[in-house]
C-alpha cells in the first residue's frame, strides 16, 4: 500500500480532522505524526491534554494505522525516516506561521517523488476556535494548577506577564503576535504584590491583607485559563505560609514565590537605600519544608527568591542559600538583582550550572532588561517574569489623559490616549 503521513497537534478532535484522515485513508496506509507539546507551542497554546493522552485518542480513530512522535514543527526528521508517498494537510497552512514548514515539506517530498495533498480547509470549525470557546467556559483548578509544570517541560523558557486585576489579566490571556515564523503569547500570569498593592493605592509592605489578595486572584481566575504564579512576599510566619499553600492549591494557582527576608517588607528595588534584612537560612528552610509537607498535590510549586545580592550579602551567600533551599525541597530558585548590567545575575547562573542537582531558575529582568529571552535561556533560566510592566505602562496614559482634560476643558484631545469603547467591549467576556 501507499504510505500516507498526516501531521497533527491538536487534542480537540473535530470533523475537520476526520475529513483529513478520511482523505488520507483513501490514498493508503495512514501514519499520524503527533506533534510534541513543545512543537505545538510554536504556533498555538499548549494542548489541554498531555502527549500520551492525545496519542491514545488518535490511535483509536478509524483509519489511523499508527501514531508516531513528531518532535518539532519541522516534518523533516519523520519524512526522511518514513519516506511517505503522500503528506496530507488542510489548506490552512498556506498562510500564517506554518507556511515555511509547508514549503520545506514540498521540497523534501520532491526528492523521492512524493506529493502533498491539501483538501480544502473545513469552513466554520477550527481547533483554535474551539479552544477560544472552551476559554469562555473556563477551566478547572486541577487543569490550571498542573499547567506550569507542563510548560516547563515543553518550552525552553516560560514567558510570564504581571496582572493586577481582571482587565489586565485579559490582556495577558489574549495578546498574541506572529514573529519570525512563530506565534508568541504569554504562558502564565504573575500576580505581583507590588502591582496589586499599587493598584489599590497602598504601600508594598505586605499591608494589603491576604483576603484582599485572594479577591484579586479570584477576579483573574474568573476571566482567564492560564496558570498563575503568586508573589507571596515573605510568606509570613511558617504556620501562615502552610495555610497559604493549601489555599492557593485549592484555587488552582500553580506556584508561589517567597523571598528570604524578614521584618517589615520593603521593595527589593530600593536595594540598600532601605534596611533589607535576610531571614535566617534554617528558618527559611523550615518554612519551605513544612509547606511542601502541607501541600496536597504534586502539581503545586514553591519557589524560593534569593535576596542576597539585593542586600549586598555577596555571591557566596546567594549560592549557599540556593543549595540549602534545594535541599529543603524548593521547586525553583529565583535570583534577584537591582544592578542594571546584569553581571552578578549571570555570574550566579554560571556557578549554579555547576550544582549536582538543580531546580528551575527564574529571572525577573526589571533592572537588566537589555537581555533577550534567548540570552536568558543560554544562561540557564527556565522562567522569565515581566513583573510590573502593564501597571507601569498604564500610569503614563492615565496621567496624560487627566492632564489633557484639565488643559482643554474637554475630552476630545484625550482620545489619542484612549481605547475606543468598542475595543474595550471586545476584550471583555461575552
The set of catalytic residues is: 204
- Residues 125, 92: contact at Cβ < 8 Å? no
CA dist., res. 265 & res. 263, Å (int): 6
CA dist., res. 338 & res. 317, Å (int): 17
CA dist., res. 244 & res. 294, Å (int): 10
- Residues 112, 85: contact at Cβ < 8 Å? no
CA dist., res. 234 & res. 318, Å (int): 17
CA dist., res. 265 & res. 390, Å (int): 23
- Which of 326, 385, 376 shows the shortest CA–CA distance to 187? 385
Dihedral angle, C-alpha 414, 415, 416, 422, nearest 10 °: 150
Beta pairing class for 255-259 and 301-306? parallel
Amino acid at each position: 500500500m501507499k504510505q500516507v503521513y498526516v501531521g497533527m497537534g491538536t487534542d480537540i478532535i473535530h470533523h475537520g480532522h476526520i475529513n483529513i484522515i478520511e482523505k488520507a485513508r483513501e490514498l493508503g496506509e495512514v501514519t499520524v505524526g503527533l506533534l510534541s507539546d513543545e512543537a505545538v507551542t510554536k504556533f498555538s497554546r499548549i494542548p489541554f491534554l498531555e502527549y500520551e493522552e492525545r496519542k491514545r485518542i488518535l490511535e483509536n480513530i478509524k483509519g489511523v494505522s499508527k501514531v508516531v512522535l513528531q518532535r518539532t514543527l519541522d516534518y523533516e526528521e519523520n519524512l526522511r525516516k518514513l519516506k511517505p508517498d503522500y503528506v496530507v494537510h488542510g489548506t490552512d497552512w498556506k498562510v500564517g506561521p506554518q507556511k515555511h514548514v509547508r514549503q520545506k515539506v514540498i521540497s523534501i517530498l520532491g526528492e523521492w517523488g512524493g506529493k502533498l495533498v491539501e483538501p480544502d480547509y473545513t469552513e466554520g470549525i477550527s481547533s483554535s476556535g474551539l479552544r477560544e470557546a472552551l476559554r469562555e467556559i473556563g477551566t478547572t483548578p486541577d487543569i490550571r494548577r498542573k499547567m506550569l509544570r507542563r510548560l516547563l517541560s515543553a518550552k525552553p523558557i516560560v514567558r510570564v506577564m504581571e496582572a493586577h486585576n481582571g482587565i489586565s489579566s485579559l490582556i495577558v490571556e489574549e495578546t498574541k503576535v506572529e514573529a519570525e515564523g512563530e506565534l508568541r503569547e504569554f504562558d502564565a500570569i504573575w500576580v505581583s504584590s507590588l502591582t496589586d498593592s499599587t493598584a489599590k493605592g497602598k504601600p508594598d509592605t505586605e499591608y494589603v491583607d491576604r483576603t484582599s489578595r485572594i479577591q484579586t486572584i479570584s477576579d483573574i481566575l474568573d476571566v482567564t485559563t492560564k496558570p498563575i504564579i503568586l508573589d507571596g512576599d515573605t510568606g509570613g510566619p511558617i504556620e501562615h505560609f502552610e495555610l497559604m499553600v493549601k489555599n492557593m492549591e485549592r484555587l488552582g494557582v500553580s506556584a508561589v514565590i517567597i523571598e528570604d527576608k524578614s521584618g517589615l517588607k520593603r521593595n527589593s528595588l530600593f536595594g540598600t537605600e532601605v534596611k533589607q534584612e535576610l531571614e535566617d537560612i534554617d528558618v527559611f528552610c523550615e518554612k519551605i519544608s513544612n509547606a511542601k509537607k502541607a501541600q496536597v498535590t504534586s502539581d503545586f510549586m514553591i519557589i524560593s527568591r534569593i535576596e542576597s545580592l539585593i542586600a549586598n550579602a555577596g555571591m557566596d551567600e546567594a549560592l549557599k542559600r540556593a543549595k540549602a533551599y534545594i535541599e529543603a525541597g524548593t521547586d525553583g530558585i529565583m535570583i534577584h538583582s537591582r544592578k542594571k548590567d546584569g553581571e552578578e545575575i549571570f555570574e550566579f547562573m554560571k556557578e549554579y550550572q555547576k550544582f549536582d542537582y538543580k531546580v528551575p531558575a527564574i529571572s525577573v529582568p526589571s533592572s537588566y532588561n537589555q537581555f533577550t529571552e534567548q540570552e536568558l535561556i543560554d544562561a540557564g533560566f527556565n522562567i522569565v517574569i515581566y513583573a510590573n510592566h502593564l501597571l507601569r505602562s498604564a500610569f503614563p496614559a492615565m496621567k496624560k489623559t487627566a492632564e489633557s482634560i484639565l488643559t482643554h476643558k474637554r475630552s476630545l484631545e484625550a482620545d489619542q490616549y484612549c481605547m475606543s469603547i468598542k475595543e474595550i467591549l471586545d476584550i471583555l467576556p461575552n
